[in-house]
Amino acid sequence: AEPLRRATKIAFKLLALTFVRPGELRGALWEEFDLERAEWRIPAERMKMRSPHIVPLSRQALALLVELKPLAGSSPFLFHATTNINRPMSENTLSYAMGRMGYSGTATPHGFRALASTVLNEEGFDPDIIERQLAHAERNKIRAAYHRAEYLDDRRKMMQWWADFLDGQYL
């Protein structure tokens, strides 16, 4: 079905633009998005580290969400199952699609996170900001107890830089 194929392409682009975990994207609900504020607020119960996470959305990500809405129809999920709009996309859909594109055994949907981290670190972005965007837990227990900065303004700038970089390189 054409809408599913287009939705799958959009899912890959959003994975690249937001570098969230694939499961966080698969389970994304429209109610988590504030397009006016350009934010995706993922609740704690859907995060690996069980802490709420804000994803600043680039102009490119917002445009994809606008394009995706009619494809999602009345589903509460951005990416619904092919057989039931009230269930999220299968956890195998993106991996299967990568295999069909010739990346079986060489790349995974999770790999967009490593790509983003590598490029942003090489470009000199603050590692704390990158780690916060990746929603990684602080390994230093003392630092974790006191260091709760969100860096939202800095993350917004970084996410827009990243989207512009991808536009120039890949998308």
pLDDT one-digit tens code per residue, 30-58: 999 999 999 999 998 887 766 788 999 99
Domain that holds residue 89: 2-169
Strands, sheet with 53-56, edge to edge from the N-terminal-most edge strand: 33-34, 39-42, 53-56
Contact between residue 147 and residue 138 where contact means Cβ atoms under 8 Å apart:
yes
| CB contact at 8 A, 15 and 25 | yes
Q: Which pLDDT does position 139 carry in this prediction?
A: 59
CA distance to 52, 53, 121, 144, per residue, from 136 (Å): 12, 10, 15, 11
Q: CA angle, 123 as apex, 59 and 137 as ends, to 5°?
A: 80
d(CA 161, CA 123): 10
Q: What is the pTM of this model?
A: 0.85
Tell me: pLDDT of 1 over 50: no
How far is Cα 118 from Cα 135, in angstroms, rounded to an integer?
15
Residue of 5, 37, 41, 48 with catalytic role: 48
Tally the domains of the chain.
1
> Of the residues 139, 141, 146, 148, which is catalytic?
146
Active site residue 80: no
Catalytic residue, from 26, 113, 132, 155: name it: 113
**Measured over all CA atoms, what is the biggest interatomic distance in the chain, rounded to whole angstroms?**
51
21 is an active site residue: yes
The enclosing domain of 87 has a CATH number of 1.10.443.10
Which one of 37, 59, 136, 147 is the catalytic residue?
136
5 classed as catalytic:
no
Structure tokens at 164: 């512009």
User: Can 26 be counted among the known catalytic residues?
Assistant: no
pLDDT, one tens digit per residue, over 78-113 is 999 989 999 999 988 888 888 888 887 777 777 889
**How confident is the model over 124-134, as a mean pLDDT?**
92
Active site residue 170: no
Question: Is-catalytic flag, 50?
Answer: no
* Nearest alpha-carbon partner for 79 in 25, 2, 43: 25
CA atoms of 165 and 170, how far apart (whole Å): 8
